[in-house]
Structure 1
Amino acid sequence: MPHINPTRLAQRILGGGRNANSEVSPSPTRLVDMGFIATGRVKIVEPRKHTEQITGRYVTLSHCWGDIEFYHLSNDTLAHFEDGIDLDKLPKTFHHAIDFACRLGVRYIWIDSLCILQDSTKDWLYQSAQMDQVYNNSLCNISATAARNSSEGLYVDRDSKQHWIDEVNLNTANGADPPKKYTVLDLDFWETAVGQAPVNRRGWVLQERMIAPRVLHFCHDQIAWECWEMDAIESRPNGIPLLQLKSGSIVRWSRFKGLVPSVDGKALRDARLSLWKRIVENYSRLRLTKGTDKLIALAGIAKIMSRRIFNGRDEDYIAGMWRANLESQLLWRVDPALKKDKTYDFHSDRPSMDEYRAPSFSWAAID
């Protein structure tokens, strides 16, 4: 299979589909301005203070922070960052994301550690409450999917052998009829390369991935992408089949992005509950550095679901559950873990008293 230019591929993805638009959406509080990239520097800008010069779309970045120390925004560095940041002082993942965004013709990028004051609880709480707008209004989300920390970057040496042609011609049993073309499917690819990748095991990233109109995943051997219409990879640019292997059987699976119930009455109520249940179950398996972020890191999804799916108000959402269906949502349990002796362990860690995160009746109260 011939090598695919990632930039051209991304431009094609961003230029088509039902998400394509040229409207300028409201900007986040801060953005990284790449307009002076030729000088080897970028700078932090606040669009609301410079309305005459802040125009155009922006992209966002999802990444694993890791244990490596790197440049971040604080009250002490804010003035310096507004004056300019040398690119060589940024970690490789940021450097690559900025380079790729420039190749797409985008001037601005939003990166959490550069756009949120890391030493201000007030700013962190305010910005955390805006995540639904930050990601939903972006052109796309660039995901450092395979990178375990900020030093590994987006670009890796890719093995062209991984881009194998998955169509084969097989002779018929009697040999009289011409060979038939069959497609060979790797049912584990998406789950292995994307679903279980380092970045997608982070709790915060689930809402980044769900809310953004498009996500470009930089995996080890291919770029994968998600939009409202489909999930796709370089070797299957027209979309991958919605199939997976479960308990020895091939079953269809539903995509997160674009899930909007379109039925009425009781069926709509059931569809809403089923959708939220899937989100909570998947989210509960992910990692959070701080347990107190349990509900905060899911708030963006809840806001969008409240507006678009539940047709409700913010007060209809209570500690990770929905008022209209509260009784049934109280019937949660810890997913049992299978022990070596083939018995199940229903134990789950409870936070200490000084780490309140949710009322005890909520699934969010424990890990």
Structure 2
Amino acid sequence: MVTHSLGLSYLWIDALCIIQDDPEDKRREISQMCTIYQNAFVTIAAATSTSVRESFLNNSKVLNTRHATCTVPFTRGRGLESRDSITISPVYAHKTDVFPLNKRGWTFQEALLPPRLLVFGDLEPFVRCRTRNVMKRSWSAIDYELSTVYPRRIIDSVARSQAEESGLIVDTKGSDLDSIWRELVEQYTLRQLSYSDDRPLAISGVVDFLSNTFRDKCHFGVWESSPVTGLLWKTVPLEEERRSVVNLPTWSWMSITGPVDLDCVVYFDRPEALVKWDDDPSYSRLLISCMVLRGEDVHARMEGIGSRVLIDSWSDFSEGSAEYRFLPEEQCSFLVLARETNGHFLALVAACYGDNVYHRCGVAELNIPSHWQLGPREQIVLV
């Protein structure tokens, strides 16, 4: 109905146009998501629907139940046909953070990649495009100042030059890849997925867009141009238990469920390690040349320092969960990756599984004594 009303001939619906029980068809179509959304004339966002089985054209939301409205009759001239009325109501501050659409992982890239969105909200439709968050389609008492279909369209900041050439003004919250990716990851991981295995898939369209724009490559959420910063993620406290995502490397934020953040990157000064991928075609193994500190040394109080080397640490899984992987002090290692602006260091907490192969367990902030900093670098494999 909506497509016909817009005068368009073709409608693409992912739940119908992707054969859901055909892995090969899903793989093929998911690889085209960036192209599909970017080249759509308009993307219809059924913001209030929790599934494809729910309608989005019938809304029973009322504008304001907290404050009364007042309907005043008046006459514009003579005769019954000239009688009319006007309704006076308080301004309704509209917010969209409660929309089901903003909580689903698979709808994340739908809010970023299309040139424009036609959003069917709880009160009325509105339009979102590359230059403005909300454009009302009719006069109403609704204030959309606080309303967006999260995440904000920060991805358009990478197209600043093209926009300026065409006379457009875009919101450039951070035009470098690290800034954009940090916010995208943090917002994406807040969303829910029915199947945890979809974690790397539901953001693949955004990855393709950024790869083409920045001429960079991304492997399991870490970019080749900045692998050190891509490893400095940590988990956010979560009520329910986190789980591993199968067949993904432990160094990737995609390998666990639940929200993560990259706020460590804010204090990043310079790398202290050399990180690259080995020759494995799966890109799941990292070769890291770095300072490797023994857990028993890091946890011990060092003479002449006056404080512990370990300032703070964050496990990838909450303590007490089935997958909690922090090891006893004498069994864990610290892989030093970066120096912070305050002179401290950021390291991965890891467990060695033989042959110099490590699994990630968490991340830590260290106060490394100066005479340690001159120590040799080791090359290890992180999987």
TM-score with structure 2 setting the length: 0.51
| Equivalent AA in structure 1 for residue 22 of structure 2 | S
Structure 1 residues 130 and 104, CA gap change in structure 2 (3 angstroms): same
Matching of residue 363 in structure 1 with residue 253 in structure 2: yes
Q: 1:330 and 1:236, CA in 2 relative to 1: closer, same or farther beyond 3 A?
A: farther
Q: CA deviation at 1:151?
A: 3.6
Q: Secondary structure of 2:44's partner?
A: strand
Partner residue, 2:267: none
Q: State the alpha-carbon separation in 1 of the partners of residues 158 and 143 from structure 2.
A: 20
Residue 304 (1) aligns with residue 181 (2): no
On the 8 A contact 2:15/2:52 being kept in 1, the answer is: no
Matched residue, 2:231: 330
Q: Is 2:5 the counterpart of 1:103?
A: yes
Question: Which of the residues 137, 154, 164 maps onto 1:256?
Answer: 154
Aligned position for 2:187: 282
Decide which structure has the larger Cα Rg and report it: 2
Following the alignment from structure 1 to structure 2, what is the Cα–Cα distance between the partners of residues 298 and 233?
26
Residue by residue, what CA displacement relative to the aligned partner does 1:296-348 show, whole Å, maximum 9, x if unpaired?
1111001101112x2x14xx2111121111101211101124xxxxxxx7x85
Match of 1:150 in 2: 52
Name the structure where helix makes up a greater proportion of residues: 1
| Residue 270 (structure 1) shift | 7.5
Alpha carbons of structure 1 residues 157 and 302: separation in structure 2 relative to 1, 3 Å: closer
Partner of 1:214: 116
Query: Residues 364 and 105 from structure 1, CA distance in 2 versus in 1: closer, same or farther, beyond 3 angstroms?
Result: same
Paired with 1:268 and 1:152, the residues of 2 have a C-alpha distance of: 35
Residue in 1 aligned with 2:136? Answer: 234
Question: Partner of 1:292 in structure 2?
Answer: 197
Superimposed CA distance per residue, residues 41-78 of structure 1 (whole angstroms, 9 cap, x where no aligned partner): xxxxxxxxxxxxxxxxxxxxxxxxxxxxxxxxxxxxxx
Closer, same or farther: CA 295–210 of 1 in aligned 2, 3 Å: same
Q: Deviations over 1:168-223 (max 9, x none)?
A: xxxxxxxxxxxxxxxx987x73xx32x43112211111112211111111111121
Q: Is the alpha carbon distance of 1:100 and 1:107 closer, same or farther for their aligned partners in structure 2, counting shifts above 3 Å?
A: same
Give a deviation string over 1:151-172, Cα, whole Å, max 9, x none: 431212456746xxxxxxxxxx
- The residue type equivalent to 2:227 in the other structure is L
CA distance 1:159–1:268, change in 2 (3 Å) = closer
One-letter identity of the residue aligned with 1:291 = S
- Structure 2: gaps spanning 5 or more residues: 65-89, 162-171, 258-383
Task: Answer whether contact 1:141 1:216 (CA < 8 A) is retained.
Answer: yes
Counterpart CA distance in 2 for 1:231 and 1:136 is 17
Q: Which amino acid aligns with 2:220?
A: A
Q: State the distance in 1 between where 2:15 and 2:52 align.
A: 11
SS in 2 for 1:287: coil
User: How many angstroms apart in 2 are the aligned matches of 1:260 and 1:241?
Assistant: 25
2: CA distance, partners of 1:231 / 1:257: 13
Q: Residues 360 and 240 (structure 1 numbering): CA distance in 2 closer, same or farther, change over 3 Å? A: farther
The 8 Å contact of residues 319 and 364 in structure 1, kept in 2 or not, is answered as yes
- Equivalent position amino acid for 2:179 in 1: S
More strand by share: 2
On the 8 A contact 2:158/2:175 being kept in 1, the answer is no
- Counterpart secondary structure, 2:156: coil
* Deviation per residue, 1:10-63 (Å, 9 max, x gap): xxxxxxxxxxxxxxxxxxxxxxxxxxxxxxxxxxxxxxxxxxxxxxxxxxxxxx
2:373 is aligned to none
Amino acid of the structure 1 residue aligned with 2:228: E
Provide the rounded CA distance (Å) in 2 between the counterparts of 1:327 and 1:185. 48
Distance 1:135 1:235, change over 3 A: closer
**Pairing 1:178-217 to 2, within 5 Å after superposition:** 189=94, 192-193=95-96, 195-217=97-119
**Is 1:320 equivalent to 2:207 in the alignment?**
no
2:36 is aligned to: 134
Please give the alpha-carbon distance, in whole angstroms, between the structure 2 residues aligned to 1:201 and 1:104.
27
Alpha-carbon distance in structure 2 between the residues aligned to 1:196 and 1:160: 16
Contact residue 154 and residue 174 of structure 2 kept, 8 A: no
The 1-side partners of 2:160 and 2:37 are apart by 24
* Mapped pair 1:349 → 2:249: no
**Contact 1:359–1:365 at 8 Å: present in 2 too?**
yes
- The 1-side partners of 2:60 and 2:9 are apart by 27
Does the residue aligned with 1:106 lie in a helix, a strand or coil? Answer: coil
1:234-288 per-residue CA deviation (whole Å, 9 max, x = no partner) reads: 38889978769xxxxxxxx96435232759xxx9997321111110001001111
Q: Which runs of 5+ in 1 are unaligned?
A: 1-98, 163-183, 245-252, 338-344
1:155 and 1:292, CA in 2 relative to 1: closer, same or farther beyond 3 A?
same
Change (3 A) 1:160 1:197: closer
Name the residue aligned to 1:6: none
Provide the residue aligned with 1:63 in structure 2: none
- Aligned residue pairs total 220
Task: Map 1:26-105; keep pairs closer than 5 Å.
Answer: 99-105=1-7
